[in-house]
């Protein structure tokens, strides 16, 4: 959950606490009830409403897969509304069965909820495509009000999943558009290699024309974070690296695994070719010239390769930067004499001695020093790091 944080439709985790008897996971409170309750109350959804809901579900899945995670228990019970408002945000919860994966990796443990399990999960030989099957089951239920494969026992449900034909003829399917049925069929294809991906579904004609902006292209979150980091000034980059390297292991474990996947020769660094190939496997295409610029802007040591510290500083989710202790620790790293400010001399010590360092310092002071007194106080520093939230 730390690894997947910052997505608007994944419930944020605020902390984990342990006593003698229990582990307490603290998350944002969602008061709007389960998606399943809404389906039961309505019977079934209109195509427009179903498209808007499944858009959110599939965008969550796309984010998980881009970040190297399979959810493995997608179902309407695991989506809650943040509140009871008409436009309440739909939030994914319950990552208890989720798992990190490498592209092409095969899993053999059969887990999940019977109605939503893909055929290959029952065969104990599956990958990320199993999540897309679950999305197909959810969409089928949204449009018809019933699951496509039913049984009185787990064994009957499993037999139906493996052998029964998909019913798109009974009521209300004759009244449902051919485009909607096409999406259902593409998601519920029994062969995982023939099943549609999240990005393919979001670009489908039905999603574009029926939903609310469903066809907008998705940006790979890792590539997006690399691009954002590349535009930051040197002080902010260094501060992010300091904070990231001192974050608890559980908050950065996902990014560590992603770095190890990119580092194909396991030598502790990621080269240009390794980064290009790694992004390509995730479906993130980027012109080589831009990637060269990114490498140069992200590599804080100037040696032409990405070290783990570089990658972590650029990609880790720092949504919990509001933590005053972490911000203060980073500020004090630069305020070496404890004067309460980051001065021009402090910046000179911190910035690599290459290029026109005086010009770099002047630019940083111009960007960060709000009262133009030639030094950066703690409030200035916090505004730079978290967009004005310094408490």
- pLDDT confidence tier of residue 278, bands split at 50, 70 and 90: confident
Q: Same structural domain for residues 255 and 303?
A: yes
Give the mean model confidence (pLDDT) for residues 42-66: 92
Q: Which of 299, 317, 335 corresponds to the end of one domain?
A: 317
By residue range, what is the domain housing residue 297?
219-317
pLDDT at residue number 164: 95
- pLDDT confidence tier of residue 321, bands split at 50, 70 and 90: low
Q: Are 389 and 382 in contact (CB under 8 A)?
A: yes
Q: Same structural domain for residues 45 and 105?
A: yes
Q: Same structural domain for residues 241 and 193?
A: no
Tell whether the model's pLDDT for residue 254 goes beyond 80. Answer: yes
pTM over 0.75: yes
Q: Same structural domain for residues 118 and 171?
A: yes
Q: Same structural domain for residues 253 and 130?
A: no
Give the mean model confidence (pLDDT) for residues 354-358: 53
In a domain, 327, yes or no: yes
Q: Same structural domain for residues 346 and 304?
A: no
In a domain, 5, yes or no: no
Tell whether the model's pLDDT for residue 79 goes beyond 90. Answer: yes
- pLDDT confidence tier of residue 319, bands split at 50, 70 and 90: low
Question: How many domains does the structure of the chain reveal?
Answer: 3
In a domain, 128, yes or no: yes
Tell whether the model's pLDDT for residue 214 goes beyond 90. Answer: no
In a domain, 339, yes or no: yes
Residues with a catalytic annotation lie at 73
Q: Residue 147 sits in a domain of what CATH number?
A: 1.10.510.10
Tokens 């940083």 correspond to what residue? Answer: 364
Q: Residue 330 sits in a domain of what CATH number?
A: 1.10.238.10
- pLDDT confidence tier of residue 322, bands split at 50, 70 and 90: low
Tell whether the model's pLDDT for residue 213 goes beyond 60. Answer: no
**Minimum mean pLDDT among 36-40, 203-207, 283-287: which range?**
283-287
Q: Same structural domain for residues 146 and 238?
A: no
Q: Which of 267, 284, 317 corresponds to the end of one domain?
A: 317
pLDDT at residue number 349: 83
Tell whether the model's pLDDT for residue 358 goes beyond 70. Answer: no
Q: Which of 210, 236, 265 corresponds to the end of one domain?
A: 210
In a domain, 98, yes or no: yes
pLDDT in tens, 28-45: 999 999 999 988 888 888
In a domain, 1, yes or no: no
**Interatomic CA distance for residues 106 and 347, integer angstroms:** 49
């Amino acid at each position: 959950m730390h690894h997947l944080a910052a997505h608007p439709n994944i419930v944020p985790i605020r902390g984990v606490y342990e006593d003698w008897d229990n582990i307490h996971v603290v998350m944002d409170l969602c008061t709007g009830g389960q998606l399943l309750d809404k389906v039961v109350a309505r019977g079934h959804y209109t195509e427009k409403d179903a498209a808007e809901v499944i858009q959110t579900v599939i965008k969550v899945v796309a984010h998980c897969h881009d970040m190297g995670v399979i959810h493995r228990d997608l179902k309407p019970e695991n989506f809650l509304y943040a509140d009871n408002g008409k436009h309440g945000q739909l939030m994914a919860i319950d990552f208890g069965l989720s798992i990190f994966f490498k592209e092409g990796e095969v899993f053999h443990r059969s887990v999940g909820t019977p109605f939503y399990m893909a055929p290959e999960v029952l065969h104990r030989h599956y990958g990320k495509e199993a999540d897309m099957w679950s999305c197909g089951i959810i969409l089928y239920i949204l449009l018809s009000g019933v699951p496509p494969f039913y049984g009185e026992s787990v064994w009957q449900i499993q037999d139906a999943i493996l052998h029964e034909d998909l019913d798109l003829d009974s009521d209300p399917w004759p009244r449902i558009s051919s485009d909607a049925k096409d999406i259902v069929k593409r998601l519920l294809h029994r062969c995982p290699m023939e099943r549609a991906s999240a990005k393919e579904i979001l670009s489908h004609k039905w999603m574009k024309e029926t939903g609310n902006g469903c066809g907008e292209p998705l940006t790979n979150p890792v590539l997006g974070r690399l691009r954002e980091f590349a535009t930051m000034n040197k002080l902010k980059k260094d501060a992010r690296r300091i904070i990231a390297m001192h974050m608890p292991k559980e908050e950065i474990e996902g990014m560590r695994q992603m770095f190890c996947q990119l580092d194909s020769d396991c030598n502790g660094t990621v080269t240009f070719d390794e980064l290009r190939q790694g992004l390509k496997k995730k479906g993130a295409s980027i012109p080589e010239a831009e990637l060269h610029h990114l490498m140069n802007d992200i590599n804080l040591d100037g040696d032409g390769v990405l070290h783990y510290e570089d990658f972590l500083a650029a990609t880790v989710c720092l949504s919990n930067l509001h933590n005053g202790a972490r911000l203060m620790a980073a500020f004090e790293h630069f305020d070496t004499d404890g004067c309460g400010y980051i001065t021009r001399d402090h910046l000179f010590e911190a910035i690599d001695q290459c290029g026109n360092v005086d010009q770099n310092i002047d630019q940083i002071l111009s960007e960060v020093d709000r009262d133009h007194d030639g030094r950066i106080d703690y409030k200035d520093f916090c505004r730079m790091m978290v967009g004005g939230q310094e408490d």
